[in-house]
Amino acid sequence: MPFCPSCHSEYREGIERCAPCDLELVAKLPETDEQKSERLRELVDKDEAAHIARANYAEACQMVELLQSRGVDAMVSGDPKSCGKGGHCSHFLVSVLPEDVRAAATVLQDEFRKLIESDEDCRGADPDAVVDFDAEGSHACPACGTTFEGTPEECPECGLFLGAA
């Protein structure tokens, strides 16, 4: 059944325009924000969401708030690798819908760039740097410049999530 993209009225087959809105009908209505949030919760529960960052609870909440303020639905969940017997986690994951990974990365990169440019202690950092774990030898953290060997999940000095391992 076709729908009006504006008023969400449902029409019978064969009708092509919404009478009151005078808009062309669509086969399927776009997801509402509530539906996207519910789908994200379901994917997080099934461990199928895209985990884009790992941080302490306060930092994870700040990232989610930033992402949501820029129109990217995100949520915080406990990192199972850091949860103790009582279910208390020391690290948390910031998750987004798989189709929102690129938008989330852009938001976080823009914020990282602003931070690097405004902080005198970060003068040696390259906001466009990435860690190439396929390259031989040591690697450098793009945030603090610390060199390290192997493929750790986070920088051993500043704790930046590198996404490896």
- Do 139 and 102 belong together in one domain? no
- Do 130 and 149 belong together in one domain? yes
Dump the DSSP string for 5-57: TTT--B--TT--B-TTT--B-BSSPPPPHHHHHHHHHHHHHTT-SEEEEEE-H
List CB contacts of 84: < 8 A, sequence separation 6 or more: 90
- Do 100 and 130 belong together in one domain? no
62-90 mean pLDDT: 90
Number of domains comprising the chain: 3
3-state secondary structure of 93: strand
29/26 Cα distance (integer angstroms) = 7
- Do 101 and 147 belong together in one domain? no
92/139 Cα distance (integer angstroms) = 25
- Do 114 and 148 belong together in one domain? no
- Do 81 and 143 belong together in one domain? no
- Do 114 and 41 belong together in one domain? yes
pLDDT of 78 > 80? The answer is yes
- Do 59 and 99 belong together in one domain? yes
26-51 mean pLDDT: 91
Q: Given this model, what pLDDT does residue 145 score?
A: 75
Structural domain span for residue 26:
1-30
100 Rama sector, left if φ>0, alpha if ψ -120 to 50, beta otherwise: alpha
- 125-163 pLDDT, tens digit per residue, is 666 666 666 777 787 777 777 888 887 777 787 777 776
Q: Which residue has the higher pLDDT, 138 or 64?
A: 64
